[in-house]
Structure 1
Amino acid sequence: MQEASQYQAGQLLNVLWDLQYERISGGIYIKTTVNPEQRPKSYVLVLENGQLIYGGSRIPETNEEFARMIGSKCNRRMTDIAIKYATQKLKNPSSFRELLERIVQIRVFNWEEIESTVHNQVVQVLEQSLPYPGQLQVDSTVQFDLSHGKDGYALDWSRVMRDVTKRQMEWTVLAPIVPSMEAIPQLPRRGLQVVTDIKAQQHLHQWVNGVRSLTDIAEQLNQDPLELARSYRAWAVSGWVTFGGDVPATQVPSTTEQQLPIVLSVDDSVIVQTTIKRALADRYEVLLASNAVDALKVINTTPIALLLLDVTMPDVDGLEFCRTVRSIPKFKNMPIIMLTARDKFSDKLRGQIAGATHYLIKPVESNQLLEVVNKCIEKTILVPSFSPTLLNS
């Protein structure tokens, strides 16, 4: 096993990409430090020749344990019987892949369910570890012959990262009430007597002790932390649980630590800028500039994820400004959405030639604007372009 290496907050993804580029095989053990006063949280990913095949809180010790986990997630009552039957026919008694093939053949669960279960686990591992500092250790001796689908392929890394991003956006929406996935719920001063739902009362009595975070509770219950947070949001709105002042400052990421994508809107209309900020503020940090000069200062000093640009501006034409931005190498791939009242095909063509990613006609509906911004930012997530390489070939 290699010596553990330290990484800072926000650096884990780059470390993982390096391991994939180097075509590493083995277990990738991750310990994240959410709060220095608490024990690190442990996760593991498994790579095969640089391809991602598994992730979770730990690697199952046996193929039977893994098959039971899949059966439990899929609510299959016949899993134990299927395992007993399948293990009698295995050529390699320790093979994960062979046992799964046997169980799929008798239709207790299918490859899509296996892949979906592992995919969701990997998404949650990355969601809970990427924002924080920690340490990583590679164990190349780990043998885990798992692959997915009938033809035996790895997980789709691009799809994994898209789902991580979508979930981060959902956490942002919950943030005004549920500060973060590491938030610590507490009972109100009046206690459980205010809770009118029996199941909620039983849950809160058992799990809310002022110490456990949402991820701690979700792990104990084997639940998705985001789904659990949705329930807690409803309970908080009802006054059954609180989050105020219960999370140490080191646990509640600031806007910067949450890494909200930053959108810069360049428009000299106060009305337009107000509309844009209202449409996007729940999911993005929105910066405003009224002219090209101020905008250029911002994008040179701030990590802008997307630029909203009015075509008609008082100093520099929006098309000219777009060309200027595109001429700077580090902004070559930054999404630029042009907002304008000009709706002719020739206008759209000029915007495309200047380097615009998308072209929206004013006035634009808030929902439409948010949808386009979401899609543009999702496409800019820098993920390795992995094809579904066959692991069994």
Structure 2
Amino acid sequence: MPWRSPRAVAASMPRAPRSCASLCPESAICRSAGGRRERARLAATRTLDLVSSPIMKTIREGFHMIQRRSFVAGTAAALTLPSIAFGQSGQIRLVVPYGPGGSTDTAGRVLAERMSADTGKNIVVENRPGGGTMVGMVNVAKSKPDGTSLMVLTTTAALQPAFDIPMPIDPQKDLAMVAQLADIPCVLAVNANNPAKTFAEFIEWVKAQPGPVHYSTSSSGGLPHLWGEVIATRTNGKLQHIPYKAAAEALRDAVAGHVPAFVDVTTPVDGQIRAGTMRGLICGAKSRVANIPTVPVASELGAPELEAAVYFGVATTAGTPPETIQQLNAAVNAALKAEAVRERLMSLGFIPTGGTPEAYAKRLADETVRWRKVIKDAKIPAPT
């Protein structure tokens, strides 16, 4: 076959008709006098058909899905970005000032696990018991102020300064408060055989006895002891304290009837109250609590001044940058909003709280003032 140029090949091919008759069914209309207007109408109709077609619907759905995924990814990134600003080493310590296995340790581990998941940081629980929580407080107070050393702070941060004794650190000055974590309210319970069915009846019963009436607690100088002394002022001093070495021992003698009353937080005695072997008369919470729902709270009994709870929070080293503390605060509060975290804490008898660093610091300061007066009035010696 002789060679032919591309132009020659193109010239030899049959030409398409100038009319669109062979391509569209509306070709006759195109040749009419109003063809141009009609063509415009048909073009608009085809555009609408294309927009509403299944293909375009699929394309739009895919586009919106991409948008949604981008939004979710952006939100997740926003939640984790603050964690980059603190703890550059990649690991954060959460010091628990008690040994492993107790409720405080468990609460710390629940918090650490959730905060790790939320921030992408490896938060490791480190148990440092001793010195009435002072060992843990000193350790964190003397750490680098960069947000990598946290601790589960307890009520002792308010009580120890209230005894006005020398301390290696001042927990309210050498530690920076991050957020409140949870409360465990105090409760007064009596043996089920006690004739007093209410708190008011108990006070009158104590005053009517010929000699002193004793209440047991897990220690001397702890919050249950101090709260018991406040209650004792209503009995003309006839209600008197007997300290035990542990809550289990103090409760055992109350259940056996050797001691008329038991004062502690709710968790050691809630099972006995539900079982009916002990009778709860007053709880120091602001509202009734899930683990002892039958026990009235102080405000119900017209005694809001008897509200009292052991409370926990998160603190870090003083001097930590404010923006880092705010990021840590956001992480703690976010963890406490997680339903799984709340349920686990409540199963331990804790009431989840949360809040600002400022509110936590104020609570500690106010509680120090409150209990210092009780300590002085009752002449309670500092715990040893």
Regarding TM over 0.5, the answer is no
Q: TM-score range by the shorter chain?
A: under 0.3
Structure 1 length-normalised TM: 0.22
Higher helix share: 2
Question: Rg bigger for which structure?
Answer: 2
Q: Which has the higher contact order (CA 8 A, sep 6+)?
A: 2
